[in-house]
Amino acid sequence: MEQRIADSAKHQNAIIEQIKALLKQSNVSIVPPPSYELECNEDPVVELLTEQLVQSYVKQGGDPELGLLEQLITVRRELAMLGVEPADSYQAQLANRLLVKAQTLIKTYGSQRDKVLAILGLAHKAANVLQLLGDSAIEQKFFGEITGWLSKLVPDMLKDIRTQHDYRLVNAVFTLTRVINSSGKLSGQADPSEILRQIEEAMRFDLSLALEASGGAHEWSLKSEFALTPTLAAGKNKLLQLMYVGEGQGTYASYAYKNGTQTMQAPDFPVMAKVTDFDPCKGTAVLFLDRFFAQEGETYLRKDTTNKAPIVWAAFANVFRAQQVDQGFEFELPVKTKTEKAVDTVFDQSAKGFTGKFTVKLTHKPQ
């Protein structure tokens, strides 16, 4: 027992000597945090790799203060278990240096989004150590610094979604909200319901659809435009994503017949659309449409004859057979970010005597 006490006391004295030498240095050094993308970090593999890299920086960036504090906590716990009253450990001075380090990192790099994950990693580690030390005053001040910093990040991200059309930031806001609310003392600083409401307002789109089709002597032009409303849904890898749903009216904008005089009449028709797996990081999304034609068909008028036939239905179904799925059609969309037109693409296909040029546009319209 006496030998264990002597060994622990010797270890404590050695740590305290290192602390004294460190405290003689007036400047608190910081290690510049590495860059880790906050916007596109939702994939589980990427997230795991990033977490490993962040923890590597935490050790590098937190030392020597963080390492000395951890050693100090361990040896003081050993002495307490052996019934020895721990000596003055300078823990408050070390903790204050750690606080200064966090403040400097936030002041210097906190506005750079690619530095957020690294700074947060170090801040969480430091917070855990401060809790073990039991210094509530320093702990409260530390959390105040972190909370003040984080509270400024989310509104700026939401603003950039609205004004800069940076749709990748939706994932970043979800990530940051989750981090804030899973970090003990920071829990409750970001209301998920309120942030989701703001994201839903910021991520609204108008869907524009246009079909130029032909078959034989017939030429048709159909159009539709309506708003899509975002809602939370499970996407790929069971991660939460926004899905966009809307309903509108399609109309036959024009008709031409090349072999004589013929007119056509067709009613407006309902269109139901859904955009899923909207992933601006990968640049992809999927559009589902139930139809883009009048289901009851068109009426063709020529001299004294009247024929009713669903020719556009046949044209659309044949031309876009590759996109046909149960209950409708699915089109894989290329997605762009940092532009108002998130999607602006044309599907130009032909089959069985029909041709179809189908234009899909997704325009950002935040509320």
Domain assignments of the chain as residue spans, ordered by start: 2-199, 203-364
SS3 (DSSP) at 250: strand
Sign of the Cα torsion 225, 229, 234, 237 reads positive
Tell me the percentage of the chain whose pLDDT exceeds 90.
44
Most confident of 11-25, 29-43, 194-208: 194-208
| Choice among 55-69, 78-92, 104-118, 352-366 with the minimum mean pLDDT | 78-92
3-state secondary structure of 162: helix
Report residue 180's pLDDT band, with 50, 70 and 90 as the boundaries. Answer: low
Q: How confident is the model at residue 187 (pLDDT cuts 50, 70, 90)?
A: very low
The answer on pLDDT for 189 being more than 60 is no
Rg of the chain in Å (alpha carbons): 31
Compare 121 and 257 and report the one with higher pLDDT: 257
Q: Is 184's pLDDT higher than 50?
A: no
Q: How confident is the model at residue 72 (pLDDT cuts 50, 70, 90)?
A: confident
How large is the angle between the packed helices 44-62 and 116-133, nearest 10 degrees? Answer: 60
Judged against a pLDDT cut of 70, whether residue 239 lies above it is answered with no
Task: Answer yes or no: are the C-beta atoms of 228 and 246 closer than 8 Å.
Answer: yes
Read off the pLDDT band of 44 (50, 70, 90): low
How far out from the chain centre does Cα 55 lie?
22
289, pLDDT greater than 90: yes
Most confidently modeled range among 28-42, 84-98, 110-124, 303-317: 303-317
State residue 220's pLDDT score: 97
Average pLDDT estimate for 199-226: 96
**pLDDT at residue 316 tops 70:** yes
pLDDT confidence of residue 190? 60
pLDDT higher than threshold 70 for residue 179: no
State the average pLDDT over residues 45-64. Answer: 75
Question: What pLDDT score was predicted for residue 205?
Answer: 97
pLDDT band per the 50, 70, 90 thresholds, residue 247: very high
C-alpha distance from residue 54 to each of 34, 97, 185 (Å): 8, 21, 21
Task: Note the pLDDT of residue 159.
Answer: 94
Lowest mean pLDDT among 56-65, 234-243, 300-309, 321-330: 234-243
Please give the pLDDT value at position 143: 73
pLDDT, tens only, 274-284? 999 999 989 99
Residue 338 backbone dihedrals phi, psi, to 5 degrees: 60, 35
Average pLDDT, the chain: 86
Determine which helix (DSSP H) or strand (DSSP E) holds 224, and give its type and residue range. strand 218-234
Give the best-scoring range by mean pLDDT among 66-70, 154-158, 345-349: 345-349
CA gap 153, 314 in Å, rounded? 52
- Phi, psi of 43, deg, nearest 5: -65, 130
Q: How confident is the model at residue 5 (pLDDT cuts 50, 70, 90)?
A: confident
Report the range of poorest mean pLDDT among 13-27, 298-312, 351-365: 13-27
Mean pLDDT of 267-271: 96
Question: Which residue bears the tokens 């390492």?
Answer: 67
> Mean pLDDT over residues 257-263, rounded?
88
Quote the pLDDT of residue 48: 57
Positive or negative: CA dihedral 203, 208, 209, 212: negative
pLDDT attached to residue 140: 73
The proportion of the chain whose per-residue pLDDT surpasses 70, expressed as a percent, equals 90
Cβ proximity of 142 and 92 under 8 Å = no
Burial readout 237-257 (b: 16 or more C-beta within 10 A, e: otherwise): eeeebbbbebebebbbeebee
pLDDT confidence bin for 41, thresholds 50/70/90: low
